[in-house]
């Protein structure tokens, strides 16, 4: 036979897990100091520019 499960507890556990993932993403996104975020953004733009320049024309 299957194990009896309390659906309320399962839903709460899933919600907590999703919230924890969101919190981790927010810590990465917003937890860095402004100079670090600015440097990462500049690096991302430079990489995007390099990729765009290396593309063959359509």
- The answer as to whether 25 is a domain residue is yes
User: What radius of gyration, in Å, describes the C-alpha atoms of the chain?
Assistant: 21
Average pLDDT over residues 33-46: 92
Alpha carbon distance 37, 42 (integer Å): 9
Instruction: Give me the number of domains the chain comprises.
Output: 1
pLDDT of residue 18: 98
pLDDT of residue 58: 63
pLDDT category of residue 32 using cuts at 50, 70 and 90: confident
- The answer as to whether 26 is a domain residue is yes
- The answer as to whether 45 is a domain residue is yes
Alpha carbon distance 27, 25 (integer Å): 5
pLDDT of residue 57: 75
Domain coverage including residue 34:
7-54
Average pLDDT over residues 38-56: 92
- The answer as to whether 1 is a domain residue is no
- The answer as to whether 38 is a domain residue is yes
- The answer as to whether 35 is a domain residue is yes
- The answer as to whether 31 is a domain residue is yes
- Proportion of the chain above pLDDT 70, given as a percent: 98
- The answer as to whether 2 is a domain residue is no
């Amino acid at each position: 036979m299957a194990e009896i499960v309390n659906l309320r507890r399962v839903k709460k556990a899933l919600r907590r897990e999703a919230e924890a993932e969101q919190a981790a993403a927010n810590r990465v996104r917003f937890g860095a100091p402004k100079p670090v975020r600015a440097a990462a953004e500049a690096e991302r733009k430079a990489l995007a520019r390099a990729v765009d320049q290396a593309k063959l024309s359509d």
